[in-house]
């Protein structure tokens, strides 16, 4: 899915919601009897018109054992072609090996995008960027507590934090048409800084809801003229008493934020 | 497999060889008709007495499609319990998600160890370290060209490279009994430095052979009194005209290096 298509969907749905499809067998409603695919289909049916992206995290499917990949592939097939589908896999390996991960995410699973870890540098990321029409979403500033261990460390030559080095370096590898960054909502105070570093790139924003991130703050500093944000909610929707209601609440907040902070999206 | 058991096997086999089981369907001998499991079994049979570890890289199995996980699990089962089995997966995610990856590697696949990426920090690594009797092998200084993009960057507060920060920080999370580091052989000139940072930890060393790493230099600076090295060869063995001969050549060089640089291993 090209950027213009993504922005068009955001405009028409008045939403930049991404639904995280991270099914935890111990938490899905009893009536599904542990049938993860049926649960996913139900969540997708409840949210399809309210979101522009779905993000299954591969760990939750690996946890299902040998059948996990099949369930993930069937889930992705059920979503269809009208949403951006992000394989949240956080992969990265030496060049020829990253190419295999890319083939798995894009060809075997049918995803449009994959999250990638930056530690191994250029040749570990390039194979993902080289896939025509696909997106690489690179970890920059993550939403977890451990993000402070290395990502915030100031670099000797520039005085910038590591996440800034990662973003500035990667912006030389990819463009706003094939590269996004993961920027956690739990670091909302950093969004002005993140947007200054990468004014035109899309950010995938986890950490709203269960992890405590502040949607309003993220929107105030993070929105740009093409929206530029995909805000993810996983547990906050999947295990809500009424998942559709939870998604609708977020979509309405997003509609409001777009009108207030990114009116050019509608021009 | 506990550290003492690993050292005992190194001592008796006079080898610290790890065989990388990264089957590329386009390169395996024709007589296997693309049967990856049969090829893996043949390689294992050719090398079992010459190596102390096997390291399948999960990307090569994901590339096999929906059957890949089953083939990987069957490969691991065929190896049995007398080798350290490393799932080279380079995973890492927020805490509860890393736990799923740990379960997959250790329970579903049956591996003894997993490679983990450090970028997300403590809570992304801890779930792997918490698995009793298992090993976490953290990326420190990798063997690929992209390792210079971020891993060598000097940190503002300490003046040390990022890989040193990663190692020193992680040594507070784990011990020499559950934490190893990936240190690429293509950076052999750094091995003195790496050994100074972590005198007692095992290093998993990729990059010998196809990637151009220098085994002698790695041994000179990397061996310690418990050996402390697992040196991996993948393509150099798998696609050799005679895989057993290729493994035997490495084992003999390792025997020599142990006698010269780590005689205490035999005490």
Exactly one of A2, A3, A55, A90 is catalytic; name it.
A90
| pLDDT for the residue A213 | 75
- With cut-offs at 50, 70 and 90, classify the pLDDT of residue B98: very high
Of A66, A119, A148, the CB nearest to B69: A66
Average pLDDT of span B6-26: 97
Token pair 């799923």 is found at B100
Average pLDDT of span B67-91: 97
Q: What is the pLDDT of residues A7-43, one digit of tens each?
A: 999 999 999 999 999 999 999 999 999 999 999 999 9
Q: What is the pLDDT of residues A155-211, one digit of tens each?
A: 999 999 999 999 999 999 999 999 999 999 988 889 999 999 999 999 999 988 767
Contact of B145 with chain A, judged by CB distance below 8 Å, is answered with: yes
Residue B211 above 80 pLDDT?
no
Residue A218 above 80 pLDDT?
yes
* Cα–Cα dist B204/B185, whole Å: 9
Cα–Cα nearest to A121, from B61, B62, B119: B119
| Pairwise pLDDT comparison (B248 vs A95), residue with the higher score | B248
Average pLDDT of span B31-41: 97
Residue pair A179/A136 in contact by the 8 Å Cβ criterion: yes
Of B63, B66, B123, the CB nearest to A103: B63
- Which 35-74 residues of chain A touch chain B by CB within 8 A? 57, 59-60, 62-63, 65-66, 68-70, 73
* Cα–Cα dist B29/B44, whole Å: 15
* Cα–Cα dist B134/A146, whole Å: 22
Cα–Cα nearest to B118, from B98, B134, B132, B148: B98
Contacts of B110 in chain A (CB under 8 A): none
Of A62, A97, A121, the CB nearest to B150: A121
Residue B206 above 90 pLDDT?
yes
Average pLDDT of span B128-142: 97
| pLDDT for the residue B207 | 87
Contacts of B166 in chain A (CB under 8 A): 150
What are the residues whose beta carbons fall under 8 Å from the beta carbon of A243, sequence distance 6 or more?
A: A43, A46, A47, A237
Cα–Cα nearest to B28, from B218, B255, B243: B243
Mean pLDDT (chain B) is 96
Report DSSP state, residue B265: G
Contacts of A159 in chain B (CB under 8 A): 156
Q: What is the pLDDT of residues A117-129, one digit of tens each?
A: 999 999 999 999 9
| pLDDT for the residue B189 | 86
Q: Provide the domain limits for residue B79.
A: 3-266
Token pair 């063997």 is found at B143
| pLDDT for the residue A141 | 97
* Cα–Cα dist B124/B129, whole Å: 10
Report DSSP state, residue B31: G
* Cα–Cα dist B148/A265, whole Å: 39
What are the residues whose beta carbons fall under 8 Å from the beta carbon of B208, sequence distance 6 or more?
A: B185, B215, B218, B231, B232, B233, B236, B250
- CATH code for position A63: 3.20.20.70
| pLDDT for the residue A87 | 98
- 3-state SS assignment for residue B83: coil
Token pair 């896939």 is found at A131
User: Residue A49 phi/psi, 5° resolution?
Assistant: -85, -5
| Pairwise pLDDT comparison (B204 vs B210), residue with the higher score | B204
Contact of A86 with chain B, judged by CB distance below 8 Å, is answered with: no
Cα–Cα nearest to A165, from A134, A197, A124: A197
Contact B70 A66 (CB under 8 A): yes
* Cα–Cα dist A236/A231, whole Å: 12
| pLDDT for the residue B256 | 96
Cα–Cα nearest to A229, from A239, A216, A241, A238: A216
Cα–Cα nearest to A85, from A120, A110, A58, A64: A110
Active centre residues of B (catalytic): 90
Domain count of the fold of chain A: 1
Pair of tokens at residue B172:
């507070």
Average pLDDT of span B102-113: 96
Token pair 């992304």 is found at B124
Q: What is the pLDDT of residues A73-111, one digit of tens each?
A: 999 999 999 999 999 999 999 988 999 999 999 999 999
Q: Give how far Cα A267 sits from Cα of A79, A200, A230, A253, Å.
A: 29, 17, 19, 20
Average pLDDT of span B44-54: 98
User: Residue B23 phi/psi, 5° resolution?
Assistant: -75, 125
């Amino acid at each position: 899915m090209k950027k213009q298509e993504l922005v068009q969907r955001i405009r028409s749905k008045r939403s930049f919601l991404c639904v995280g499809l991270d099914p935890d067998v111990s938490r899905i409603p009893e009536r599904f009897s542990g049938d993860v695919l049926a649960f996913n289909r139900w969540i997708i049916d409840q949210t399809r018109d309210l979101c522009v992206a779905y993000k299954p995290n591969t760990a939750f499917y690996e946890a299902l054992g040998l059948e996990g990949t099949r369930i993930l592939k069937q889930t992705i097939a059920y979503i269809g072609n009208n949403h951006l589908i992000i394989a949240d896999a956080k992969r990265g390996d030496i060049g020829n090996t990253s190419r295999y991960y890319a083939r798995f995410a894009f060809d075997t699973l049918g995803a449009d995008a994959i999250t990638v870890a930056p530690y191994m540098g250029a040749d570990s990321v390039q194979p993902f960027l080289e896939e025509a029409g696909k997106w690489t979403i690179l970890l920059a500033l993550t939403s977890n507590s451990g993000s402070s261990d290395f990502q915030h460390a100031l670099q000797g030559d520039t005085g910038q934090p590591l996440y800034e080095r990662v973003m500035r370096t990667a912006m030389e590898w990819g463009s706003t048409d094939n590269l996004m960054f993961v920027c956690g909502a739990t670091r909302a105070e950093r969004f002005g800084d993140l947007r200054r570093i990468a004014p035109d790139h899309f950010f995938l924003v986890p950490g709203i809801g269960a992890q405590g991130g502040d949607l309003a703050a993220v929107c105030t500093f993070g929105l740009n003229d093409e929206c530029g944000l995909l805000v993810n909610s996983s547990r906050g929707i999947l295990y809500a008493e009424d998942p559709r209601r939870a998604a609708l609440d977020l979509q309405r907040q997003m509609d409001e934020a777009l009108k207030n902070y990114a009116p050019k999206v509608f021009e």
